[in-house]
């Protein structure tokens, strides 16, 4: 029977008893089903690999069960094929249908192709493209429907009734559960049960942990079976805590492979009987776990596939244990390549190797220098700032850490003690997702140019003039004071080596460089440089350009003059940087570089 542990009321559930003196009939039935499961026609016995780097850091013996090495890069092929292999010839000829966030869909498609029967796959609209394409490659009929698994499930069951297809459930089916349970059978063959302290299993609908726990607990009741779920998709955790199946109102989609709002009836019963506890982990902790797996295996797990490792790290930190044998089921590796940048950004925060602070700096000469001196030789990994107010600047700064949370707290205290208003945003999801990219508040004015989405338009827009045959790059560097530089590409000192600067044939959209440079666009000659669009402010008797994304425009530049609070179209060329990196001196008075302002 499940209770919420008093030791950790937020993140831990505990079973009242894990020792089973006599195997119940249903458990014996599952052991028999697992031993007789037909999975190895398509599945392979995956290795149980040691993770030496992670083991050394955690002072425990960590092992990875490499289900990401299956033909479809996920454990789901086991349950899907076992279910389809059990169908009678008459039932199989009707064809099968399933609802899946991706991995189960690939398993069903491969199993159906192997048996030579049709398969219809209903997937949420949010399914990663890599999973959709994989199902298409296996010959499945794909139907995209709904925003999450539950909506796809409802549509699949209705469609199955209409077309008289056999529904293959992704988790709430004894044959599917038995197929997943063969993972536990392999683990206990690969390492003696007396040497295993705990197995950490990702949970979505519960099929994987139901099969593993039913088999492992029948032979070695002392082995802890610990489930791991994302904090924003904790359907099994909430159900076990409430004593009944609970339907979540919404789930997070980062770990899309376990984004289930309601767990299965049979999987809930088995989890309630055999699972020792469930650990919840954050998005940052999942990203850090992906990085940990990569460092030991040079393979990239999907977010759901890294849950087991994230759970081990949190468990070890909580229990302060050492020398234990801990196994993580790395259950999948189907992730879109373009998500890797997001994972990399969040991994350091999740591993306590980076801190994110919001700091208010006075808009006064030397304030930025004073802040930099305070940071000393610490590595600044990101700095976001936009001019907004004449008195104070709001900035976001990310700093590399070597001593985790202790160093982070001490650094925040130092910043505040130096007279800067500061907040720790490292655990603030809204700040990490959105606010860091909108720092600075409202701009006083912004000029935009719309580009056509027609093929080749961007190249034409950035192509060098036939007259000069030269191009230049424009960068905005974070300095004190803030100044814009418009230099020929050959003389651009701020540009990081071999970055994606615009060329005559390839123009990238504005991107944020770490730690201090923002790439903005390219210019072909003086005429097009004169069309540079930027925000021009003239406080305190001098013109400055705030570090806001800028673009080039052959038709002229829309310039904002703060002194006059008006917009005008002009052929203004921003001042270049001198060899010292500061603004070139100008004898002009305030707004001397600006034309006479006119109404916008």
Q: How far is CA 444 from CA 31, 49, 438, in A?
A: 69, 57, 14
Q: Binning pLDDT at 50, 70 and 90, where does residue 431 land? A: low
Residue 302's closest CA among 473, 143, 310, 503? 310
Residue 358 φ/ψ, nearest 5 degrees: -100, 120
CA–CA dist 381, 103 (Å, integer): 35
Question: Up-side HSE of residue 56: CA atoms within 13 Å toward CB?
Answer: 5
Identify whether residues 266 and 294 lie together within a single domain. yes
Report the percent of the chain where pLDDT is more than 70: 66
Task: Decide if pLDDT at 579 tops 80.
Answer: no
Q: What is the CATH number of the domain that holds 381?
A: 3.40.1020.10
Question: Three-class SS string for 181-216?
Answer: HHHHHHHHHHCCHHHCCEEEEECCCCHHHHHHHHHH
Residue 304's closest CA among 235, 255, 253, 232? 255
CA–CA dist 590, 564 (Å, integer): 11
On whether residue 3 sits in a domain, the answer given is no
Residue 125 φ/ψ, nearest 5 degrees: -65, -20
Q: E strands within 363-465?
A: 380-385, 392-400, 421-424
Q: How far is CA 583 from CA 101, 107, 274, 524, in A?
A: 54, 62, 69, 22
Last residue in a domain, options 403, 437, 471: 437
Residue 32 φ/ψ, nearest 5 degrees: -65, -40
Residues constituting the chain: 600
Identify whether residues 410 and 311 lie together within a single domain. no
Report the pLDDT value the prediction gives residue 388, as an integer from 0 to 100.
66
- pLDDT by residue (tens digit) across 476-531? 333 223 333 333 334 333 333 333 333 333 333 333 333 332 333 333 333 333 33
Report the pLDDT value the prediction gives residue 439, as an integer from 0 to 100.
59
Q: What is the dihedral of CA 307, 310, 312, 318, to 10 degrees?
A: -130
- pLDDT by residue (tens digit) across 432-475? 666 556 555 555 444 445 544 444 444 455 444 433 443 333 33
Report the pLDDT value the prediction gives residue 584, as an integer from 0 to 100.
34
Last residue in a domain, options 293, 310, 344: 344
Identify whether residues 199 and 305 lie together within a single domain. yes
Q: Binning pLDDT at 50, 70 and 90, where does residue 38 land? A: very high
Q: Binning pLDDT at 50, 70 and 90, where does residue 147 land? A: confident
DSSP result, 113-163: HHHT--EEEEE-TTS-HHHHHHHHHTTPEEEE-SSSHHHHHHHHHHHHHHH
Residue with tokens 């977010």: 303
Report the pLDDT value the prediction gives residue 27, as an integer from 0 to 100.
52
Task: Decide if pLDDT at 571 tops 80.
Answer: no
By the 8 A CB rule, do 193 and 220 touch?
yes
CB contact set of 380 (below 8 Å; sequence gap of 6+): 397, 398, 399, 400, 515, 516
Which DSSP helix (H) or strand (E) runs through 435?
A: none
On whether residue 452 sits in a domain, the answer given is no
- pLDDT by residue (tens digit) across 166-217? 999 999 999 999 999 999 999 999 999 999 999 999 999 999 999 999 999 9
Question: Up-side HSE of residue 354: CA atoms within 13 Å toward CB?
Answer: 21
On whether residue 228 sits in a domain, the answer given is yes
Identify whether residues 163 and 215 lie together within a single domain. no
Identify whether residues 153 and 189 lie together within a single domain. no
Q: Binning pLDDT at 50, 70 and 90, where does residue 400 land? A: confident
CA–CA dist 529, 485 (Å, integer): 11
Report the pLDDT value the prediction gives residue 535, as an integer from 0 to 100.
31
> What is the pLDDT averaged over residues 540-563?
34
Report the pLDDT value the prediction gives residue 378, as an integer from 0 to 100.
79
By the 8 A CB rule, do 538 and 590 touch?
yes
- pLDDT by residue (tens digit) across 275-316? 999 999 999 899 999 999 999 999 999 999 999 999 999 999
Residue 144's closest CA among 125, 163, 169, 162? 125
Identify whether residues 198 and 337 lie together within a single domain. yes
Report the pLDDT value the prediction gives residue 8, as an integer from 0 to 100.
43
Strand 536-537 and strand 544-545: the pairing is antiparallel
- pLDDT by residue (tens digit) across 205-215? 999 999 999 99
Report the pLDDT value the prediction gives residue 437, as an integer from 0 to 100.
60
Identify whether residues 381 and 505 lie together within a single domain. no
Task: Supply the DSSP symbol for 514.
Answer: S
Provide the token pair at 473: 């790059």
Minimum mean pLDDT among 81-85, 87-91, 251-255, 586-590: which range? 586-590
On whether residue 151 sits in a domain, the answer given is yes
On whether residue 119 sits in a domain, the answer given is yes
By the 8 A CB rule, do 311 and 331 touch?
no
Identify whether residues 57 and 189 lie together within a single domain. yes
Identify whether residues 217 and 134 lie together within a single domain. no
Report the percent of the chain where pLDDT is more than 90: 44
Question: Would you give the end-to-end CA distance of the chain in angstroms?
Answer: 71
Report the pLDDT value the prediction gives residue 168, as an integer from 0 to 100.
96
Identify whether residues 61 and 179 lie together within a single domain. yes
CA–CA dist 199, 279 (Å, integer): 12
On whether residue 222 sits in a domain, the answer given is yes
Which of 7-11, 423-427, 556-560 has the highest average model confidence (pLDDT)?
A: 423-427
On whether residue 507 sits in a domain, the answer given is yes
Residue 494's closest CA among 484, 503, 502? 484
By the 8 A CB rule, do 537 and 562 touch?
yes
> Strand order in 354-362's β-sheet?
380-385, 392-400, 354-362, 421-424
On whether residue 476 sits in a domain, the answer given is yes
Mean predicted lDDT score pLDDT of the chain: 74
Task: Supply the DSSP symbol for 378.
Answer: -
CA–CA dist 40, 37 (Å, integer): 9
> What is the pLDDT averaged over residues 132-138?
90
> What is the pLDDT averaged over residues 153-163?
94
Which DSSP helix (H) or strand (E) runs through 268?
A: helix 265-274
Provide the token pair at 34: 């697992």
Identify whether residues 488 and 540 lie together within a single domain. yes
Report the pLDDT value the prediction gives residue 489, as an integer from 0 to 100.
38
Number of continuous H segments (helices) and E segments (strands) in the chain: 19, 26
CA–CA dist 73, 153 (Å, integer): 22
- pLDDT by residue (tens digit) across 325-363? 999 999 999 888 888 887 877 776 667 778 888 888 888
CA–CA dist 159, 167 (Å, integer): 10
Domain that holds residue 96: 76-170
Domains contained in the chain, number: 4
By the 8 A CB rule, do 135 and 141 touch?
no
CA–CA dist 62, 572 (Å, integer): 62
Identify whether residues 185 and 162 lie together within a single domain. no
CB contact set of 248 (below 8 Å; sequence gap of 6+): 233, 234, 235, 238, 261, 262
């Amino acid at each position: 029977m499940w209770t919420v542990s008093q030791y950790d009321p937020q993140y831990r559930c505990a079973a009242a008893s894990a020792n089973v003196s006599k195997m119940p009939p249903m458990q014996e039935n599952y052991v028999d089903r697992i031993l007789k499961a037909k999975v190895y026609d398509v599945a392979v016995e995956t290795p149980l690999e040691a993770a030496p780097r992670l083991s050394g850091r955690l002072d425990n013996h960590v092992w990875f069960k490499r289900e990401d090495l299956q033909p479809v890069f996920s454990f789901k092929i086991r349950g899907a094929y076992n279910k389809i292999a059990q169908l009678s010839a008459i039932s199989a000829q009707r064809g099968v249908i399933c609802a899946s966030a991706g991995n189960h869909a690939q398993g069903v498609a491969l199993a159906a192709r192997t048996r030579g029967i049709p398969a219809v796959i209903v997937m949420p609209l949010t399914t990663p493209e890599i999973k959709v394409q994989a199902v298409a490659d296996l010959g499945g009929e794909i139907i995209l429907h709904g925003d999450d698994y539950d909506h796809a499930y409802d549509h699949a069951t209705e469609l199955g009734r209409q077309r008289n297809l056999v529904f293959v459930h992704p988790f709430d089916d004894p044959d599917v559960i038995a197929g997943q349970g063969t993972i536990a059978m392999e683990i206990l063959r690969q390492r003696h049960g007396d040497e295993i302290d705990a197995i950490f299993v990702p949970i979505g609908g519960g099929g994987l942990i139901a099969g593993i726990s039913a088999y492992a607990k029948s032979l070695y009741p002392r082995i802890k079976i610990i489930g791991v779920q994302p904090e924003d998709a904790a359907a099994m955790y909430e159900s076990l805590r409430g004593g009944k199946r609970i339907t979540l109102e919404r789930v997070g989609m980062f770990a899309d492979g376990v984004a289930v709002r309601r767990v299965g009836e049979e999987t809930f019963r088995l989890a309630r009987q055999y699972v020792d506890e469930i650990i919840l982990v954050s998005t940052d902790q999942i990203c850090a776990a992906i990085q940990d797996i990569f460092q030991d295996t040079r393979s990239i797990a999907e977010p759901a596939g890294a849950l087991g490792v994230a759970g081990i790290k949190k468990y070890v930190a909580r229990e302060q244990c050492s020398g234990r044998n801990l196994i993580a089921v790395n259950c999948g590796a189907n992730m879109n390549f373009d998500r890797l940048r997001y994972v990399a950004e969040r991994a350091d925060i999740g591993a306590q190797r980076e801190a994110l602070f919001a700091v208010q700096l006075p808009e006064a000469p030397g304030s930025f220098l004073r802040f930099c001196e305070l940071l000393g030789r610490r590595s600044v990994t990101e700095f976001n700032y936009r001019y907004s107010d004449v008195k104070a600047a709001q900035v976001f700064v990310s700093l590399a850490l070597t001593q985790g949370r202790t160093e982070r707290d001490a650094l925040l205290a130092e910043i505040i003690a130096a007279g800067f208003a500061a907040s720790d945003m490292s655990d603030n999801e809204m700040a990490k997702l959105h606010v860091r990219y909108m720092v600075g508040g409202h701009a006083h004015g912004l000029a935009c140019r719309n580009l056509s989405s027609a093929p080749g338009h961007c190249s034409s827009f950035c192509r060098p003039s036939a007259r000069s045959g030269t191009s230049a790059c424009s960068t905005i560097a974070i300095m004190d004071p803030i100044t814009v530089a418009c230099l020929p590409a050959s003389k651009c000192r701020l540009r990081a080596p071999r970055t994606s600067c615009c060329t005559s044939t390839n123009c990238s959209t504005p991107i944020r460089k770490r730690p201090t440079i923002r790439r903005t666009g390219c210019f072909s000659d003086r005429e097009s440089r004169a069309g540079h669009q930027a925000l021009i402010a003239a406080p305190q008797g001098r013109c400055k350009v705030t570090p806001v994304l800028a673009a080039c425009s052959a038709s002229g530049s829309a310039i904002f003059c703060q002194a006059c609070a008006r917009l005008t179209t002009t052929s203004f060329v921003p001042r270049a940087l001198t060899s010292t990196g500061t603004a070139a001196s100008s004898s002009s008075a305030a707004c001397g570089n600006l034309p006479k302002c006119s109404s916008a």
